Structure 1
Amino acid sequence: MYGKAPVSILTDQDLAIGAAVKKVFPDSRHHLCLWHIKKKFPEKLSHLYHKKSAFKCGLNKCIYESYTVEEFEKVWNELIIENGLEQNEWLQGLYEIRNS
């Protein structure tokens, strides 16, 4: 890398890797891989997240069709409320790291 740190680094949600990125490349932006995050949905929300479910369609709309922060927030909140997921700790955790 010719002595320069990368501008961005894309990883999964592994805490050790995240800590290493922060330590080794403190000025690089650490992003989380959406593919790895979405891969966990069938396990964490199997009752809602399945082929062509309304929740899956709504989540994809939220992720891929929100063009502003406000639009994302609105669609996310509607999706959570419509599906009774206000107390879901895993989704709350995802929401807290949404900027990553």
Structure 2
Amino acid sequence: MAAAISRVFPNTQHRLCQWHMIKKYRDELKKLYKEHEGLKIKLLTVINHPLTPIEFEAAWSELLTEYGIGENDAIKGIWESRHLWVSAYLKPLYCGRMTSTQGSKSVNKAVKKGFCNEEDMHE
């Protein structure tokens, strides 16, 4: 999908949904949460709070050091894709108020209702 989006919409940037990213690693993260008390809250705070990429990266590094989880595959996967879904990296982008799949579904519904002819959509 990312390749198609960049080809069809060259002036846009493909993003990933935070909810889907966390869900992708849910099982591994659950194991970490059981092993490390307080990790879930701190991880979500690090992901959601920093205002800049520098702040995010500093907080992330601190989190890895505090919990000793830097070699975990889920943590590595979250880190490797951070530019596509962590809000600190996406602030300069206009996203039409979409920050999740739910937001995109709401916008899709509004566009279909107000701007698309139902008959044209089935051709």
| TM bucket normalised to smaller | 0.5 to 0.7
Match of 2:45 in 1: 61
Q: Tell me if 1:91 matches 2:75.
A: yes
Gaps of 5+ in 2: 85-123
Consecutive aligned runs of 4 or more in structure 1 exceeding 4 Å deviation? none
Instruction: Give the conservation status (yes or no) of the 8 Å contact 2:50–2:56.
Output: yes
1:32 aligns to what SS in structure 2? coil
Relative contact order, higher structure (CA 8 A, sep 6+): 2
Q: TM-score, structure 1 length as denominator?
A: 0.67
Distance (whole Å) between structure 2 residues aligned to residue 22 and residue 94 of structure 1:
22
1:14-36 Cα shifts (integer Å, max 9, x gaps): xxx22222232222111110010
Query: Within 2, Cα distance between the matches of 1:44 and 1:18?
Result: 25
1:98 is displaced (CA, Å) by: 1.3
Map Cα deviations across residues 4-62 of structure 1 (whole Å, 9 max, x no partner): xxxxxxxxxxxxx2222223222211111001012234312222236xx4111111110
Matched, 1:80 2:83: no
Q: How does 1:1-100 map to 2 (within 5 A)?
A: 17-49=1-33, 53-100=37-84
SS in 2 for 1:23: helix
- Following superposition, the deviation at residue 80 of structure 1 comes to 1.5
Asked which structure has the greater CA Rg, the reply is 2
Greater share of strand residues, 1 or 2?
1
CA RMSD of aligned residues (A): 1.9
- Larger helix fraction of residues: 2
State the alpha-carbon separation in 1 of the partners of residues 25 and 61 from structure 2: 17
Aligned length: 82
Instruction: State the secondary structure of the residue aligned to 2:27.
Output: helix
Pick closer, same or farther for the CA change 1:35–1:61 going to 2, 3 Å.
same
* TM-score of the aligned structures, taking structure 2 as reference length: 0.56
Q: Is there any run of 5+ residues in structure 1 with no aligned partner, and where?
A: 1-16
Q: Would the aligned equivalents of 1:66 and 1:72 in 2 still touch at CA under 8 Å?
A: yes
Identity %: 38
